[in-house]
Every structure is written in structure tokens, then in C-alpha cells.
């Protein structure tokens, strides 16, 4: 059994009308952009780092450089399936994952089941093997001030 930990954070940018941001592979209505080279999906990025970490394969920045044009505005779900391919090639099998989004806003509870189904499809695992939770920080810190959002993930590989 191998355990891995992931963390990611992105800053909110300009206010935009009729805008959505990507969290856990799902487009969620939110009136500010997320600044990132890729789609800025903190939940999927934290999950990718946890997968790579569990296999001692480095981190997301090493595998998907933000200087690489190939990953500009990339769908992070594609990075997730590449990470699964990498851990599989290294001889590991996905066990389960648990992710926490840390954000004052947007509230994600009504999207959580879709996030789990979407990420499970990308991983090729059962929905029960991927958990998504969320918390505010009750107004404290950068997430609390609404400067950005963050996610933590833990993964078990066999």
C-alpha cells in the first residue's frame, strides 16, 4: 500500500459575466476567472499530485510544465488520466482518493456527485472510491478573503 498527498491553490482574477470555473472536472457558475496555465482545476491538480506522490513520481509541474504549450488551457481530466497511466506503468493500482476543496465561494455541494462521477470516469475507478468534500475557512486566510481557492487530496495505491 502506498499513500500520497496533494495540494494546489489558484488565484481568482478578473470578474466576468456568465462565467464558469472548472472544479473537480465540472463547470461551476462563478463570476471570477481562475488564473492558471491550464483550466485551473485545483481539485484535479491536487489529486494528480497525490497520485504522483504515492508512486514517488515527482509532481504535476514536472510532468505537465506550465511552459509547455501543449498544456495551455488543458483539460485537467486529461492530466488525471495521464497520471493514472504513469502510476499503472510504475506497477501500481488506484485504491481510493479523498479530496477537500477549501473555498469561501463558490459553494460546491450540489455539484459534488457529478464531480465524483466525472473524476471516477477519468480514473477508471468506482464512484465509491473517490470522495469530494468542501469547507470554507470561516473568512480566514486567502481562501476566506476570496482571493483564490485551494484543494488537498490524499490517495491510496496498491
**Residues engaged in binding ligand CDP (CB under 6 A):** 101, 103, 107-109, 134-136
Name the residue among 22, 29, 114, 117 with its Cα closest to residue 76. Answer: 22
Rounded to whole angstroms, the Cα distance separating 106 from 31 reads 9
Given 4, 8, 39, 55, the residue binding Zn ion (CB under 5 A): 8
Q: Please say which residue, 87 or 134, places its beta carbon nearer to ligand CDP.
A: 134
Which residue matches cell numbers 485551494?
150
143 binds Zn ion (CB under 5 A): no
As given in the structure block, the three cell numbers for residue 41 are: 482545476
Name the residue among 75, 56, 127, 134 with its Cα closest to residue 99. Answer: 134
As given in the structure block, the three cell numbers for residue 27 are: 463547470
Q: Please say which residue, 8 or 143, places its beta carbon nearer to Zn ion.
A: 8
Q: Which stretch binds Zn ion (CB under 5 A): 5-13, 17-25, 113-121, 125-133?
A: 5-13
CB of 123 to ligand CDP, least distance (A): 22
Ranges within 40-99 binding Zn ion (CB under 5 A): 45
Residue 108 contact, options ligand CDP, Zn ion, none, Cβ 5-8 Å cut-off depending on partner type: ligand CDP
CB of 90 to ligand CDP, least distance (A): 33
Q: Please say which residue, 56 or 109, places its beta carbon nearer to ligand CDP.
A: 109
Q: Please say which residue, 54 or 112, places its beta carbon nearer to ligand CDP.
A: 112
CB of 30 to Zn ion, least distance (A): 16
Rounded to whole angstroms, the Cα distance separating 49 from 39 reads 16
Whether omega for the bond prior to residue 88 falls within 30 degrees of 0, making it cis, is: no
Rounded to whole angstroms, the Cα distance separating 80 from 46 reads 10
As given in the structure block, the three cell numbers for residue 93 are: 493500482
Q: State the residues that interact with Zn ion by CB under 5 A.
A: 8, 45
Amino acid at each position: 500500500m502506498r499513500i500520497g498527498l496533494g495540494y494546489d491553490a489558484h488565484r481568482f482574477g478578473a470578474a466576468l459575466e456568465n462565467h464558469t470555473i472548472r472544479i473537480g472536472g465540472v463547470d461551476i457558475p462563478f463570476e471570477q476567472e481562475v488564473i492558471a496555465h491550464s483550466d485551473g482545476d485545483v481539485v484535479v491538480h491536487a489529486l494528480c499530485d497525490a497520485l504522483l506522490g504515492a508512486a514517488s513520481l515527482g509532481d504535476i509541474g514536472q510532468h505537465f510544465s506550465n511552459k509547455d504549450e501543449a498544456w495551455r488551457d488543458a483539460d485537467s481530466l486529461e492530466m488525471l488520466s495521464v497520471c493514472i497511466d504513469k502510476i499503472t506503468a510504475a506497477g501500481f493500482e488506484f485504491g481510493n482518493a479523498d479530496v477537500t476543496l477549501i473555498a469561501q465561494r463558490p459553494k460546491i455541494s450540489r455539484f459534488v456527485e457529478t464531480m465524483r462521477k466525472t473524476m471516477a470516469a477519468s480514473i477508471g475507478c468506482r464512484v465509491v472510491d473517490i470522495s469530494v468534500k468542501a469547507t470554507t475557512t470561516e473568512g480566514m486566510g486567502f481562501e476566506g478573503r476570496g482571493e483564490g481557492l485551494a484543494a488537498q487530496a490524499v490517495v491510496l495505491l496498491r
